[in-house]
Amino acid sequence: MLKVVVVGNGMVGHHYVEQLVASKVEAQITVIGGETRPAYDRVHLSEFFAGRSPEDLALTTRDHYRELGVEAHFGDMVASIDRDGKTLTTDSGQQFSYDKLVLATGSYPFVPPVKGNDLEPCVVYRTIDDLGIIQAQAKGGKVGVVVGGGLLGLECANAVKNLGLETHVVEFAPGLMGVQLDSGGSAMLRRKIEALGVTVHTSKATQVIEQDAEGEARLRMQFADGGSLATDMIVFSAGIRPYDQLAKDSGLTVGERGGIEIDYHCKTSDSDIFAIGECALFGGRIYGLVAPGYRMAEAAVSQLTDEVVAFQGADMSTKLKLLGVDVGSIGDAHGKEAGSVAYTFSDERIDVYKRLIVSADGKKLLGAVLVGDCSDYDTLLQYFLNGIALPADPQTLILPYNAGAAPALGAGALPATAIICSCHNVSKGDIVNAMDAGFCSLGEVKAETAASSGCGGCAALLKNIVDDELAARGLEVNKAMCEHFNFTRQEMFHVVKVESIKSFDELINKHGSGRGCDICKPTAGSILASLWNDYVLEEKHVGLQDTNDTFLANMQKNGTYSVVPRIAGGEITPDKLITIGQVAKKYNLYTKITGGQRIDLFGARVQHLPAIWEELIAAGFETGHAYGKALRTVKSCVGSTWCRYGVQDSVAMALYIENRYKGLRSPHKLKSAVSGCTRECAEAQSKDFGVIATENGWNLFVCGNGGMKPRHADLFATDLDDETLIKYIDRFLMFYVRTADRLQRTSVWMGTLEGGLDYLREVVIEDSLGIAAELEEQMDSIVGSYQCEWKTTVEDPERLKRFRQFVNSKAEDREIIFVEERGQPRPATEAERIQILAESA
Amino acid sequence: MSTDKLIEKSEPISLCMQADLIPNSGICAELDGQQIALFYLPRESPRLYALGNWDPIGKANILSRGMVGDLDGRLVVASPMYKQHFDLLTGECLEDTEICVPVFPVSLVGDHVMLRL
Ligand code: SRM
Ligand SMILES: Cc1cc2nc3c(=O)[nH]c(=O)nc-3n(C[C@H](O)[C@H](O)[C@H](O)COP(=O)(O)OP(=O)(O)OC[C@H]3O[C@@H](n4cnc5c(N)ncnc54)[C@H](O)[C@@H]3O)c2cc1C
Ligand code: SF4
Ligand code: FES
């Protein structure tokens, strides 16, 4: 049998083994890995500090290799290759013979030749072992420096920061991420990173590292410009160098600045030896990303089969989240091509920078830089990779939405060669072929092509393409909400109403299949509540509610909850303010004024919720439904009572509206506002329904939205008296509740109504469907059956059982840990939590 | 598996009473410092499921507060934090098969919920 030996068991070496095992080639595979553990996910290395264990990061195990029949040795480096005898020898003296040899030795961090770079807490960031060292060194230290402001350096800075050290980045070049970003993007990135509390030093050359004589810290760095910096740890992340010594020693051709030279077939200068991944040099270039390495592995495996594929270079576009900052770089970010034209959009208010580089004729996208907002990345990447002709005004691709930007690229516009899933190298053509072969549903396409089973970033685009293809084939696009119901929300609503269905069991027995899931259950729960307004925690509805609805509070990142009492219209008495303060103090809650004119209390443990609410209810508070797909807030301005310009009592109207619709369950949350004059201090035109006072009454606006895609509300009717205003709102809301899809805000729903605003006016004002009376009646019945869910809950001992942390003990969840910041509690970060738990153990 | 065999082999401990369970939903119990999410699905067989309460993705003790249902015929709980699904029988995460939460043998004996760590 063919003897294949793979040297190096990093991400690419492992991918090679997997591909070879999966191919038809009969081979006896031997793996020799220099690290003590089998391959792991280096790309997600930083998650180690967020609590992912080495096991979580593992890509394979010794047992798994054994099952595959792969012979594997770890913790032993290959020391030399005898190409004539086709054997190799390891550090420990073991010998292996090969027919084909694959070098997947990767690379190692470059440590600049600075005097003192070998002093004790000078470390690098490449392996799991390195992380262990960094973690140990960080203990007891206060300051950490990362040398290198590139992609990896910034990722490393994030890790150092999460370890609780004051973090500095020292970069030799004038800007951060100079390889991927132009100077404008780099400057914006710097602003954002500094805002996070990381100090950035650019154009800094380190001359010497020495023990800190002043005793301020363990080390001191002296810079060429005369300055110095005291630090307890230095992490070098100033670039990578290929592990090519082994190849060099055995006489293989190596690039001038390192890297084992390979051809299209990933063959080195010896045709029985391949090199793949970060140790390989192709076309004068080292590819420091994992996807190109995978392509090389596949090309190298194909050499042993009859279906040979070539490696033809790879795209180096990247999208990252560095320290929580979105950064994207596509193609030629520096505009190096002659005659290229650049468009730049920069908004320092929200720290967003976007730049397009376009060919001289304006037709092709050559490159792009995105900092602070990567939402256009996917669209731009498709333009770039597929050479799609740009719109006449390319700048519309990066302008904010409200400037009338071009829509995202439709699935139909993509050529068959467009790569949809870069993790698994699946093109649009592959997807179309799978569908031609009869795999038509999204699930089948995923299973057949492996698309969307890696990082998941392509899920939305994949679904668009499948839907588009289905439509093109005249097949019905599957609008079913999930595998249990073949309905849209709208259809479910009709069925429940027409058949007077009162429980989920009845609904699924009659019209669905299986047991339901976290998509159809809450949808049904919301519909049942919109129609019959039962108490949401009644036993038959309990399993239908999301945790927020079950515990009548919003879950926070550490498993505690927030408490939001209703403060209708934003009006609150001093006594009520005092109660909120007292409750927050007693239960150690973080308090904050929300964007909706009320007060949120965060960090309540589940077992404290009932007592908190008992005290709030006693002081006259009600639930604010911040957890529900329901009416949230009705903002008000102070209006004619106090304001010099007010023409109506906007506070009274806001209170009336909030109290009328509180508790109404809807497809998504609902927000409203009332302003006392056209100055619009309550921002009513950004709400699902907004009211603005006029000399003669009220103007009603509908279908506005803040949030992710802001939409200015449409003026719906003018100069209404109080009664007509409420009548129209009743009808409008009930029509929305009835006909919108799940999780569709009014603004999006408006976009789906054929006939748009005019149609809505016909239905609501002119009663063109003859349902106005019914809509009003339904609203009246909901308003009439309102109950404060928290009041009902605290009065019922059976319900309170739910709010125990443990059924069998009174202990607290000891993994919920708070630390103090600005005089209030906040959840401990993952690193703090781990440390505090370790100290208390 | 029959309940009496389980008792013979490992002497499970009585965690709580049947009346503490909430049909079609979850509760949380604690045993030797291990948090356990207990789900009671009266119409399924078996009726009881016990998983570790820690959500390794959301990083909080919350799985007992997730919603139960089925996906592709597997009984699952959806984490209330970021909505990944965990198989009630095996603990496997459907979205990321490398991630698994512990499962514990559990059964109803009379009125008692018996569990073995
Ligand atoms: C607390 C608050 C932020 C603050 O500190 O001010 C907040 C907090 C949350 N918002 Fe908000 N939003 C808050 C005002 C807003 C506003 C401003 C406003 O209402 O005037 C907006 C934009 C206006 C709008 O909705 O049109 C807003 C747009 C969103 C969105 C995006 C909605 C959209 O249509 O794009 C979400 C996500 C969603 O609902 O799917 C969201 C979701 C959330 C969630 C529920 C996220 C979550 O699942 O954990 C947050 C939890 C609240 C909690 O734990 O209590 N929040 N959120 C504000 C609570 C207001 C209140 O008193 O109830
Ligand atoms: C913190 C960090 C974050 C990253 N983030 C991203 C990202 O977001 N996206 C991305 O695409 N890429 C990222 N990368 C880069 C990515 O990890 C590499 O491109 C990829 O791991 C290269 O795989 P490889 O198998 O070629 O090399 P490696 O994974 O380095 O594996 C090579 C292995 O060979 C061993 N070896 C070397 N010499 C010998 C010898 N003589 N004998 C035996 N064994 C030997 C080494 O010890 C090593 O275990 C990141 C890297 C790091 C460090
Ligand atoms: S909207 Fe009008 S009434 Fe309200 S505060 Fe502004 S100016 Fe005064
Ligand atoms: S791009 Fe990562 S899964 Fe498709």
The number of residues making up chain B comes to: 117
pLDDT at B6: 40
β pairing state of B74-78 and B85-87:
antiparallel
Return d(Cα A768, Cα A776) in angstroms, integer. 15
Distance A633 CA to ligand 1 centre (A): 11
Kindly report the nearest CA distance between residue B83 and chain A, in angstroms.
8
Return d(Cα A678, Cα A684) in angstroms, integer. 10
Q: Is residue A675 in contact with ligand 3, taking CB distance under 6 Å?
A: yes
Return d(Cα A438, Cα A227) in angstroms, integer. 68
Return d(Cα A794, Cα A612) in angstroms, integer. 10
CA A198 vs CA A162, A174, A194, A771: distances in Å: 11, 17, 5, 60
* Pocket mutation for ligand 3, best pick of A645, A649, A692, A694 (most atoms within 8 Å of C-beta): A645
Return d(Cα A390, Cα A359) in angstroms, integer. 10
- pLDDT for B41-58, tens place per residue? 988 888 999 999 999 999
Return d(Cα A616, Cα A579) in angstroms, integer. 7
What are the residues facing A562 on neighbouring strands? A554, A602
* Pocket mutation for ligand 2, best pick of A5, A7, A11 (most atoms within 8 Å of C-beta): A11
Residue A826 has a CB neighbour count (10 Å cut-off) of 15
What are the residues facing B17 on neighbouring strands? B112
β pairing state of A670-675 and A689-694:
parallel
What residue of A is the nearest CA neighbor of B73? A514
- pLDDT for A195-211, tens place per residue? 888 999 999 999 999 98
Residues of A in contact with B20 (CB under 8 A): 801, 807-808
Q: Does A809 touch chain B (CB under 8 A)?
A: yes
- Residue A639: which of A597, A716, A595, A692 has the closest Cα? A692
**Helix A609-618 vs helix A574-586: angle between axes, to the nearest 10 degrees?**
160
What are the residues facing A322 on neighbouring strands? A325
Report which residue type is found at A170.
V
What residue of A is the nearest CA neighbor of B37? A806
Q: Which atom of ligand 3 approaches the CA of A639 most closely?
A: 3
Helix and strand element counts for chain B (H, E): 1, 12
Q: Are the beta carbons of B61 and A813 separated by less than 8 Å? A: yes
pLDDT at A594: 96
Report which residue type is found at A230.
A
Residue ranges of chain A with per-residue pLDDT less than 70: 321-323, 400-410, 453-457, 475-478, 535-537
Three-class SS of residue A422? coil
Sequence-distant contacts of A341-348: CB under 8 A, at least 24 apart: A343/A394, A343/A395, A343/A398, A344/A184, A345/A395, A345/A398, A345/A399, A346/A184, A346/A188, A347/A400, A348/A191
Query: Model-level pTM?
Result: 0.54
* Pocket mutation for ligand 4, best pick of A320, A431, A452, A462 (most atoms within 8 Å of C-beta): A452
> Is 90 exceeded by the pLDDT of residue B63?
yes
Q: Does A547 touch chain B (CB under 8 A)?
A: yes
Q: Does A522 touch chain B (CB under 8 A)?
A: yes
Q: Complex ipTM, two decimals?
A: 0.69
CA dihedral A257, A260, A266, A268 (to 10 degrees): 130
Residues 6+ apart with CB under 8 A from A301: A16, A19, A20, A23, A25
pLDDT at A266: 96
pLDDT at A799: 83
Q: Are the beta carbons of B67 and A805 separated by less than 8 Å? A: no
Residues of B in contact with A807 (CB under 8 A): 15-16, 20, 27-29, 38
Of A514, A521, A808, the CB nearest to B15: A808
Distance A158 CA to ligand 3 centre (A): 45
Atom 56 (ligand 1) nearest CA: A707
CA dihedral A68, A69, A71, A72 (to 10 degrees): 20
pLDDT at B9: 46
Three-class SS of residue B107? strand
Residue A389 has a CB neighbour count (10 Å cut-off) of 11
Q: Is residue A681 in contact with ligand 3, taking CB distance under 6 Å?
A: yes
Distance A278 CA to ligand 2 centre (A): 7
Kindly report the nearest CA distance between residue B117 and chain A, in angstroms.
15
Q: Is the Cβ–Cβ distance between A268 and A246 less than 8 Å?
A: no
Residues 6+ apart with CB under 8 A from A22: none
Tokens of A257: 């600045």
Q: Which atom of ligand 3 approaches the CA of A675 most closely?
A: 1
**Helix A489-498 vs helix A520-532: angle between axes, to the nearest 10 degrees?**
40
CA B69 vs CA A456, A482, A689: distances in Å: 23, 12, 35
> Measuring from each residue's beta carbon to the nearest atom of ligand 1, which residues come in under 6 Å?
A 554, 562, 564, 592, 594-596, 598, 600, 626, 632-633, 669, 671, 705-708, 745
Tokens of B89: 């029988």
Q: Does A514 touch chain B (CB under 8 A)?
A: yes
Residues of B in contact with A551 (CB under 8 A): 65
Q: A723-760 burial string, b = 16+ CB within 10 Å, else e? A: eebbbbbbbbbbbbbbbbbbebbbbbbbeebeeeeeeb
Return d(Cα A60, Cα A40) in angstroms, integer. 7
Which ligand places an atom closest to the C-alpha of A279? 2
Q: Are the beta carbons of B69 and A547 separated by less than 8 Å? A: no
- pLDDT for A248-262, tens place per residue? 999 999 999 899 999
Return d(Cα A176, Cα A159) in angstroms, integer. 17
What residue of B is the nearest CA neighbor of A830? B59
Distance of CA B70 to the CA centre of its chain: 14
DSSP codes, A720-752: E-HHHHHHHHHHHHHHHHHHPPTT--HHHHHHH
Instruction: Let me know the angle formed at the C-alpha of A772 by A770 and A773, rounded to the nearest 5 degrees.
Output: 100
Q: Rounded to a whole number, what is the largest CA-CA distance in chain B?
A: 40
> Is 50 exceeded by the pLDDT of residue B1?
no
Q: Which atom of ligand 4 approaches the CA of A453 most closely?
A: 3
Three-class SS of residue A470? helix
The number of residues making up chain A comes to: 841
Q: Which atom of ligand 1 approaches the CA of A548 most closely?
A: 48
- Residue A7: which of A83, A59, A72, A56 has the closest Cα? A72
What residue of B is the nearest CA neighbor of A454? B96
Kindly report the nearest CA distance between residue B37 and chain A, in angstroms.
9
Q: Which residue has the tokens 């991927």?
A: A180
The alpha-carbon radius of gyration of chain B (Å, integer) is 13
DSSP codes, A348-409: TTTTEEEEEEE-TTS-SEEEEEEES--TTHHHHHHHHHHTPPPPSSGGGGTS-GGGTPPPPP
Return d(Cα A29, Cα A412) in angstroms, integer. 44
Return d(Cα A238, Cα A241) in angstroms, integer. 10
What residue of B is the nearest CA neighbor of A41? B98
Q: Is residue A638 in contact with ligand 3, taking CB distance under 6 Å?
A: yes
Distance A765 CA to ligand 2 centre (A): 66
pLDDT at A548: 82
Between A and B, how many residue pairs show a Cβ–Cβ distance under 8 A? Answer: 110
Q: Is the Cβ–Cβ distance between A52 and A44 less than 8 Å?
A: yes
Return d(Cα A299, Cα A267) in angstroms, integer. 10
- Residue A384: which of A372, A371, A369, A406 has the closest Cα? A369
CA A30 vs CA A99, A101, A369: distances in Å: 11, 10, 43
